[in-house]
Amino acid sequence: MQAKTQQKPGKQTHKSLKPTKSVPSRVYDESKIKTLSSLEHIRLRTGMYIGRLGDGSNPDDGIYVLLKEIIDNGIDEYIMGNGNRIEVEVQNSPAQGKSVVMVRDFGRGIPLGKLVECVSVINTGAKYNDEVFQFSVGLNGVGTKAVNSLSSYFRVRSIRDGAYAEAVFERGILITTIKHGKLKTLEPNGTLVEFTPDTEIFGNYAFNLEFIEQRVQHYAYLNRGLTLSLNGTSYLSTGGLFDLLTEETGTEGLYPLGYYQGERIEFAFTHTNNYGEAYFSFVNGQYTSDGGTHLSAFKEGFLKGIQAYCKKDYRSEDVREGASAAVALKLQNPIFESQTKNKLGNGDIRAWVVQEVKAAVEDWLHKHPETGKKLEQKIIANESLRTELNEVKKEAREAAKKIALKIPKLKDCKYHLEDREKGAASTIFITEGDSAAGSMVSSRDVMTQAIFSLRGKPENVYSKKRAAIYKNEELYNMMMALGIESDSNSLRYARIVIATDADFDGFHIRNLLLTFFLSYFEELVNSGRVYILETPLFRVRTKKETRYCYTEKERDEAVQALGTQSEVTRFKGLGEISPKEFGQFIGPDMRLVPVLVQTLKAVPQVLNFYMGKNTPERREYIMKNLVDEL
The CA radius of gyration of the chain, in Å to the nearest whole number, is 28
CATH number at residue 453: 3.40.50.670
Residue 168: partners with Cβ closer than 8 Å, 6 or more residues away? 153, 154, 155, 174, 175, 176, 177
Beta carbons of 537 and 549 less than 8 angstroms apart: yes
Residue 441 CA to residue 250 CA, distance in Å, equals: 44
Neighbours of 316 (CB within 10 A): 13
Of the candidates 202, 232, 262, which is a domain's last residue?
Answer: 232
Confidence of residue 513 (pLDDT cuts 50, 70, 90): very high
357 found inside a domain: yes
Q: Distance (Å, rounded) from C-alpha 293 to C-alpha 278?
A: 16
Long-range contacts of 11-15 (CB under 8 A, 24+ apart): none
| Cβ proximity of 357 and 298 under 8 Å | yes
**515: in domain:** yes
The neighbouring-strand residues paired with 287 are: 282
586 and 557: one domain?
no
| pLDDT confidence of residue 97 | 65
For residues 141 and 185, state if they share a domain. Answer: yes
Measured between alpha carbons, how far is 180 from 389 in angstroms, rounded to an integer? Answer: 71
| 124 within some domain | yes
Which of 65-79, 106-120, 123-137, 433-447 comes out lowest in average pLDDT? 123-137
Residue (of 340, 211, 331, 224) closest to 288 by Cα position: 340
For residue 429, what pLDDT band results from cuts at 50, 70 and 90? Answer: very high
Asked if 374 and 248 sit in the same domain, the reply is yes
Task: Please say which residue of 337, 356, 385 terminates a domain.
Answer: 385
- Measured CA to CA in angstroms, residue 167 lies from 73, 106, 110, 113, 185 at distances of 17, 18, 12, 11, 17
Strand 265-271 to 258-261 pairing: antiparallel
pLDDT at site 630: 32
From residue 366, alpha-carbon distances to 306, 360, 369, 371, 541 in Å are 10, 10, 6, 9, 72
What are the φ/ψ torsions at residue 250 (nearest 5 degrees)? 60, -130
> Residue 627: its pLDDT value, please?
42
User: Which strands, in side-by-side order, build the sheet including 233-235?
Assistant: 173-180, 163-170, 151-160, 190-197, 98-105, 85-93, 227-230, 233-235
In this structure, the answer to whether residues 143 and 282 fall within a common structural domain is: no
Mean pLDDT over the full length of the chain: 83
**How far is it between the farthest Cα atoms of the chain?**
94
Residues 57, 186: one domain?
Answer: yes
DSSP-H helix ranges across 32-184? 38-44, 47-50, 62-79, 115-120, 143-149
Confidence bin at 340 (pLDDT 50/70/90) = low
Residue 6 has pLDDT above 60, yes or no: no
b/e string for 247-260 if b means 16 or more Cβ within 10 A? bbbeebbbbebbbb
Q: Is residue 3 situated within a structural domain?
A: no
Q: Which of 202, 204, 218 has the alpha carbon at shortest distance from 50?
A: 202
pLDDT the model gives residue 403: 55
35 in any annotated domain = no
**Structural domains counted in the chain:** 4
Residue with more model confidence, 532 or 399 = 532
Q: What is the DSSP letter of 34?
A: -
% of the chain exceeding 90 in pLDDT: 36
Is 501 a member of any domain? Answer: yes
| CA–CA separation, 594 and 57 (whole Å) | 8
Angle between helical axes of 602-611 and 504-520 (0-180°, round to 10): 140
| CATH code at position 357 | 3.30.230.10
Q: How far apart are CA 230 and CA 220, in angstroms?
A: 12
- Checking if the pLDDT of 4 tops 70, the result is no
Please identify, among 213, 232, 251, the residue that sits at the C-terminal boundary of a domain: 232
Q: Could you give the residue ranges of the DSSP H alpha helices within 528-615?
A: 552-562, 579-585, 602-611
What's the CA gap between 143 and 141, in Å, rounded? 6
| Together in a domain, 360 and 275 | yes
**Are 83 and 182 contained in the same domain?**
yes
Instruction: Compute the distance between CA of residue 309 and CA of residue 302 in angstroms, rounded to an integer.
Output: 11
Q: Does residue 111 sit in the same domain as residue 180?
A: yes
The predicted structure's pLDDT at residue 572? 77
Q: DSSP strand E in 161-283: where? A: 163-170, 173-180, 190-197, 227-230, 233-235, 258-261, 265-271, 278-283
Nearest CA to 140 out of 398, 10, 334 is that of 334
Q: Is 184 helix (H, G, I), strand (E, B) or coil?
A: coil
Q: How far apart are CA 331 and CA 315, in angstroms?
A: 30
584 closest CA partner among 424, 437, 444, 415: 444
The conformation of residue 530, written as its DSSP 8-state character, comes to: E
User: How many other CB atoms sit within 10 Å of the CB of residue 197?
Assistant: 28
Whole-number pLDDT of residue 327: 94
Q: What is the pLDDT of residues 290-335, one digit of tens each?
A: 888 899 999 999 999 999 999 999 999 999 988 999 999 988 888 8
pLDDT at 183: 65
| Mean pLDDT to the nearest integer, 400-406 | 59
- Do both 145 and 215 map to the same domain? yes
Cα 392 from Cα 468, distance rounded (Å): 9
| Most confident region among 18-22, 42-46, 203-207 by mean pLDDT | 203-207
Query: pLDDT band at residue 7, thresholds of 50, 70 and 90?
Result: very low
Higher pLDDT: 231 or 142? It is 231
CB 116 within 8 Å of CB 167:
yes
Predicted pLDDT of residue 623? 59
Q: Do 376 and 247 lie in a common domain?
A: yes
Provide the residue count of the chain.
Answer: 630
Q: Is residue 627 part of a domain?
A: no
Q: Coil, strand, or helix at residue 475?
A: helix
Domain with 94, as residue range(s), is 43-232
Q: What is the CATH number of the domain that holds 185?
A: 3.30.565.10
Of the candidates 629, 434, 426, 460, the residue with the CA atom closest to the CA atom of residue 531: 426
Say whether pLDDT at 201 is over 60: yes
DSSP characters over 202-214: H-S----HHHHHH
324 has which bridge partners? 270, 278
587 and 481 inside one domain: yes
Range picked from 88-97, 357-366, 478-487, 614-623 for highest mean pLDDT: 357-366
Q: Are strands 495-499 and 427-432 parallel, antiparallel or unpaired?
A: parallel
Cβ contact 548:536 at 8 Å: yes
Say whether both 453 and 551 belong to one domain: no
Say what the pTM is: 0.72
The answer to whether position 280 is within a domain reads yes
Q: Is residue 89 very low, low, confident or very high in pLDDT (cuts 50, 70, 90)?
A: very high
